[in-house]
């Protein structure tokens, strides 16, 4: 297995925290109080958040943005492959985009704290639409070159990185404490719908004309811009002007490091990104070597994860502001690890599909609950920087892929993926033992 070409290719000391500004700095408590537990619990409908006009617009914009991101990723990857016929070039383009997200993430969070989030969403969508339209023109006129792909990958990565914290913080801005979990779950449904439909839709368009895929991207980002323009402006915590941006970025990290619960929630977000989710890169190998299939089987394996995620998120949206969120988070991630480990032991395709769908269900619920707990507990004037740090944890998957590739190369795809899952399981157990503030939430 180690020589299989498919596998080879799967490749500050504490400081004082500044006093919060006098306006709107207390974290918004969930319906059950600041701990997210006991207290009153109002039953809400599955689509409760859709009663808000702004949430409907934001949901539509999130859906359009998701389709545009999949279209850009798949279209750009195919374009690079057509131009170069090189796996190395594909990896380099992906690396430049991914590393920028990690480096610029904290500054994107500061942007969401300093400036109106609605304006950020409008601006990033407008630039994203423009760059896609220019790239489409270059492709359709046969003027595109490889270096263009690097430029547009970088521009797209910057826009996506800047959009994330502003959009996620805006979900909190337009939600009541008791509907925040519902809003986060429904917003995640939009992302998963685009994950199911976006790749095959883009594949069909690319098969017809690569340039048309970027026209689609430009149109979807244009829709995202228009929905953002229709949103109402929202008040944000007052900010002191003239402070050095680097100082504010480090203030954000110091604040997060000083809050016990936020530290553990960030760890629970990073663990699956590092040690579990990278197994998706090896799905083509599972499809071919374990289940003796091809592209169709690969498509089903990936799709079942998204289908399970949607089922889990709709269930959570129906439940609303659940009590004992820490139990949902920790239990959901443990079940996710157990189910992926079980998947690695299977050789019956239908059983594997059912296992992955269930894994997607548990992980989607755990991640949405984690996001809700984080948004509820982070200080209002630090919300953008907090969500940026949260997103940075989700962006650790490429690093985890390096570790899992080593294990797969050494032990084979089934055992290598399983060993990485077990590392995550140990990490979650440690959080259960030592993360009392999360366990009792």
Tens digit of each residue's pLDDT (9 = 90 or more) over 256-291: 999 999 999 999 999 998 999 888 878 878 888 899
The whole-model pTM stands at 0.72
Q: Give the separation between CA 429 and CA 427, rounded to whole angstroms.
A: 5
Predicted pLDDT at 354? 95
Structure tokens at 50: 């859709």
- Is residue 314's pLDDT more than 60? yes
Which of residues 346 and 5 earns the better pLDDT score? 346
Q: Give the separation between CA 367 and CA 305, rounded to whole angstroms.
A: 14
Phi, psi of 30 (to 5 degrees): -70, 170
Give me the half-sphere count of Cα atoms (radius 13 Å) on the Cβ side of residue 90: 14
| Mean pLDDT computed over every residue of the chain | 83
On whether the CB atoms of residues 140 and 343 are closer than 8 A, the answer is no
DSSP secondary structure code for residue 279 in this structure: G
On whether the CB atoms of residues 67 and 194 are closer than 8 A, the answer is yes
The single residue listed with the structure tokens 């490889």 is 146
- Is residue 30's pLDDT more than 80? no
Which of residues 324 and 342 earns the better pLDDT score? 342
Predicted pLDDT at 239? 59
Predicted pLDDT at 207? 77
On whether the CB atoms of residues 166 and 121 are closer than 8 A, the answer is yes
**Predicted confidence band of residue 240 (pLDDT cuts 50, 70, 90):** low
Q: Cα dihedral sign for 63, 69, 75, 78? A: negative
Q: In terms of Cα–Cα distance, which of 375, 367, 267 is closest to 312?
A: 367
Q: Give the separation between CA 432 and CA 434, rounded to whole angstroms.
A: 6
Predicted pLDDT at 237? 62
pLDDT, one tens digit per residue, over 343-380 is 999 989 999 999 999 999 999 899 988 988 998 888 88
On whether the CB atoms of residues 343 and 362 are closer than 8 A, the answer is no
Phi, psi of 145 (to 5 degrees): -130, 165
Helices assigned H by DSSP within 115-179: 117-140, 146-173
Q: In terms of Cα–Cα distance, which of 262, 253, 236, 257 is closest to 36?
A: 262
Predicted pLDDT at 100? 79
Range scoring the smallest mean pLDDT among 258-262, 299-303, 429-433 = 299-303
CATH placement of domain 47-236: 1.20.1250.20
Helices assigned H by DSSP within 259-346: 260-275, 283-285, 295-319, 325-344
- Is residue 17's pLDDT more than 80? no
Predicted pLDDT at 241? 56
Q: In terms of Cα–Cα distance, which of 298, 281, 268 is closest to 398?
A: 281
Question: First and final CA of the chain: distance in angstroms?
Answer: 44
- Is residue 43's pLDDT more than 80? no
- Is residue 5's pLDDT more than 50? no
Q: Give the distance, in angstroms, between the CA of residue 349 and the centroid of all CA atoms in the same chain.
A: 28
- Is residue 72's pLDDT more than 70? yes
- For residue 328, what are the CA distances in angstroms to 92, 137, 292, 440, 441? 38, 48, 36, 11, 10
Q: Give the separation between CA 384 and CA 346, rounded to whole angstroms.
A: 42
Q: What percent of the chain has pLDDT over 70?
A: 87
Range scoring the smallest mean pLDDT among 184-188, 235-239, 278-282 = 235-239
Give the residue extent of every domain in the chain: 47-236, 258-441
- Is residue 36's pLDDT more than 60? no
Q: Give the separation between CA 107 and CA 359, rounded to whole angstroms.
A: 33
**Predicted confidence band of residue 31 (pLDDT cuts 50, 70, 90):** very low
On whether the CB atoms of residues 276 and 407 are closer than 8 A, the answer is no
Mean pLDDT of 80-101: 76
Predicted pLDDT at 271? 94
Q: Give the distance, in angstroms, between the CA of residue 197 and the centroid of all CA atoms in the same chain.
A: 17
- For residue 155, what are the CA distances in angstroms to 84, 180, 202, 424? 21, 32, 20, 33
Phi, psi of 17 (to 5 degrees): -90, 130
156 exposed, middle or buried (CB, 10 Å; 0-12, 13-18, 19+)? buried
Mean pLDDT of 293-304: 78
CATH placement of domain 258-441: 1.20.1250.20
- pLDDT winner (highest mean) among 69-78, 404-413, 417-426: 417-426
- For residue 109, the tally of other CB atoms under 10 A from its CB is 31
On whether the CB atoms of residues 320 and 182 are closer than 8 A, the answer is yes
Which of residues 321 and 163 earns the better pLDDT score? 163
Predicted pLDDT at 323? 81
**Predicted confidence band of residue 426 (pLDDT cuts 50, 70, 90):** very high
The single residue listed with the structure tokens 């796996």 is 87
- Is residue 142's pLDDT more than 60? yes
Predicted pLDDT at 27? 42
Q: Give the separation between CA 202 and CA 171, rounded to whole angstroms.
A: 28
Predicted pLDDT at 81? 79
- pLDDT winner (highest mean) among 30-44, 83-97, 163-177, 387-401: 163-177
Predicted pLDDT at 23? 37
Same fold for the pair 47-236 and 258-441: yes
- The percent helix, strand, coil of the chain (3-state, each to 5) is 80, 0, 20
Which of residues 47 and 13 earns the better pLDDT score? 47
Q: In terms of Cα–Cα distance, which of 280, 305, 304, 242 is closest to 417?
A: 280
Q: Give the distance, in angstroms, between the CA of residue 218 and the centroid of all CA atoms in the same chain.
A: 21
């Amino acid at each position: 297995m180690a020589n299989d070409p498919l596998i080879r290719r799967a490749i500050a000391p504490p400081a004082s925290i500044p006093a919060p500004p006098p306006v709107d700095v207390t974290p918004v408590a969930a319906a059950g109080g600041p701990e997210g537990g006991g207290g009153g619990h109002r039953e809400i409908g599955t689509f409760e958040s859709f009663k808000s006009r702004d949430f409907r617009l934001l949901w539509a914009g999130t859906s359009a943005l998701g389709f545009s991101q999949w279209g850009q990723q798949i279209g750009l990857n195919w374009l690079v492959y057509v131009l170069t016929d090189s796996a190395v070039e594909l990896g380099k383009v992906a690396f430049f985009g991914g590393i920028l997200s990690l480096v610029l993430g904290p500054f994107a969070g500061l942007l969401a704290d300093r400036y109106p989030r609605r304006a950020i969403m409008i601006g990033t969508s407008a630039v994203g639409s423009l760059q896609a339209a220019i790239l489409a023109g270059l492709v359709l006129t046969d003027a595109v070159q490889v270096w263009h792909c690097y430029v547009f990958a970088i521009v797209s990565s910057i826009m996506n990185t800047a959009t994330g914290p502003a959009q996620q913080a805006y979900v909190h801005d337009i939600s009541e404490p008791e509907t925040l979990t519902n809003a986060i779950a429904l917003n995640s449904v939009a992302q998963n719908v685009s994950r199911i439909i976006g790749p095959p839709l883009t594949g069909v368009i690319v098969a017809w004309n690569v340039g048309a895929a970027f026209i689609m991207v430009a149109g979807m980002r244009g829709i995202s811009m228009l929905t953002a323009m229709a949103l109402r402006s929202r008040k944000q915590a007052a900010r002191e002007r003239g402070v050095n941006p680097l100082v504010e970025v480090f203030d954000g990290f110091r604040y997060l490091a000083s809050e016990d619960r936020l530290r553990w929630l960030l760890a629970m977000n990073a663990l699956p990104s590092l040690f579990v989710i990278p197994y998706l890169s090896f799905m083509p190998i599972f499809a071919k070597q374990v289940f003796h299939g091809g592209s169709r089987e690969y498509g089903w394996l990936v799709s079942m994860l998204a289908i399970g995620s949607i089922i889990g998120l709709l269930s959570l949206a129906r439940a609303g502001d659940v009590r004992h969120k820490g139990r949902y988070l920790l239990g959901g991630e443990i079940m996710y690890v157990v189910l992926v480990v079980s998947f690695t032991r299977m050789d019956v395709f239908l059983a594997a599909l059912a296992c992955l769908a269930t894994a997607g269900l548990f992980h989607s619920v755990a991640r949405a609950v984690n996001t809700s707990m984080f948004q509820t507990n982070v200080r209002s004037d630090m919300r953008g920087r907090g969500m940026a740090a949260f997103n940075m944890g989700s962006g650790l998957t490429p690093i985890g892929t390096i570790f899992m590739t080593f294990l797969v190369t050494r032990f084979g795809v089934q055992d290598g993926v399983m060993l990485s899952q077990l590392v995550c399981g140990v990490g979650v157990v440690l959080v259960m033992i030592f993360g009392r503030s999360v366990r009792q939430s």
